[in-house]
């Protein structure tokens, strides 16, 4: 009844040249969430029109810093309301959060496309910024969760959170202890979101116990060929929506040459 795809495209124009937007146009998803769009609204519209996605309604926010970040939600479903940004003013024009209220076959649903900071364990300022953004996400998850519990609107948050939750979510977890993306402080956020806040990690709940399936592999080295990846792309759902999720699929390319991003799309089907 509903199919949702999320993917960090690593630049929509680069992804288009590599065949990524053709993949998206043929995937049959009802909702597509993009991160790292790295384009203006006009540039995004041009790519979508050229690659068979021009009929979709677009909710998009770009970063003030050109060529960085940017998130979008694409869908043929009418937008009831669009909201951009999350948390304090410092994140207002960073191109990292857009949410859309939709009327879907499953009822009223808020869909979010989010892109968390990479962070840097050896750079206190960069890592503190990431934690502030995760704090902002957590505050918004509380509000969205309360709305779902009250029966107002279910919610799904899609995106690149730049955190691998458990050891099964990163191939070389021993070698990455102490690095951004696998810090205890970062992982604690996901503990709370999937614990006391009541959200469900659909990629894990439907994807088995692991290891993997991973969603990101470096462009460098042989990590892609040896499946030395990280699972950092998520779809988080409120309980009512999570109960209707039936399948999860990571669209890893068949070969390195066929990759169109350093991430793979995560697709969830709801019945």
> Domain limits at 40?
2-270
CATH value at residue 109: 3.60.10.10
Cβ-based neighbour number of residue 223 at 10 Å: 19
Q: Determine if the pTM surpasses 0.75.
A: yes
Instruction: Round to whole Å and give the CA distance between 264 and 252.
Output: 5
Q: What pLDDT is stored for residue 99 in this prediction?
A: 98
Q: Are strands 107-115 and 97-104 parallel, antiparallel or unpaired?
A: antiparallel
Determine whether 227 is an active site residue: no
Q: Which of 51, 160, 233, 262 is catalytic?
A: 160
Please tell me the total count of domains within the chain.
1
> Tens digit of pLDDT for each residue in 215-270?
999 999 999 999 999 999 999 999 999 999 999 999 999 999 999 999 999 999 99
The percentage of the chain sitting over the pLDDT mark of 70, rounded to a whole number, equals 100
Residue 38: pLDDT band (50, 70, 90) is very high
Q: Which one-letter DSSP state was computed for residue 109?
A: E
> Tens digit of pLDDT for each residue in 119-178?
999 999 999 999 999 999 999 999 999 999 999 899 999 999 999 999 999 999 999 999
Instruction: Round to whole Å and give the CA distance between 124 and 35.
Output: 25
Q: Are strands 97-104 and 31-35 parallel, antiparallel or unpaired?
A: unpaired
């Amino acid at each position: 009844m509903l199919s949702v795809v999320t993917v960090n495209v690593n630049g929509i124009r680069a992804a288009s040249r590599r065949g990524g937007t053709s993949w998206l146009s043929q995937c049959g998803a009802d909702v597509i969430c993009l991160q790292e769009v790295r384009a203006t609204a006009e540039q995004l519209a041009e790519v979508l029109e050229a690659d068979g996605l021009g009929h979709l309604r677009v909710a998009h926010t770009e970063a003030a810093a050109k060529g960085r970040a940017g998130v979008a939600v694409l869908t043929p479903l009418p937008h009831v309301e669009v909201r951009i940004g999350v948390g304090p003013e410092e994140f207002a024009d960073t191109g990292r959060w857009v949410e859309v209220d939709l009327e879907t076959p499953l009822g009223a649903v808020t869909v979010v496309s989010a892109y968390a900071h990479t962070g840097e364990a050896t750079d206190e300022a960069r890592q503190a910024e990431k934690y502030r953004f995760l704090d902002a996400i957590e505050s918004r998850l509380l509000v969205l969760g309360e709305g779902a519990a009250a029966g107002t609107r279910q919610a799904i948050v899609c995106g690149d959170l730049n955190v691998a939750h458990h050891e099964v979510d990163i191939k070389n977890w021993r070698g990455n202890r102490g690095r951004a993306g696998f810090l205890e402080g970062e992982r604690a956020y996901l503990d709370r979101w999937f614990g006391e806040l009541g959200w469900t990690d659909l990629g894990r709940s439907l994807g088995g116990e692991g290891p993997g399936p991973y969603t990101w592999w470096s462009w460098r080295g042989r990590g892609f060929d040896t499946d030395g990846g990280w699972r950092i792309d998520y779809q988080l759902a409120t309980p009512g929506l999570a109960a209707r999720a039936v399948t999860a699929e990571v669209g890893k390319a068949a070969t390195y040459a066929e990759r169109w991003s350093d991430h793979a799309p995560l697709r969830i089907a709801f019945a």
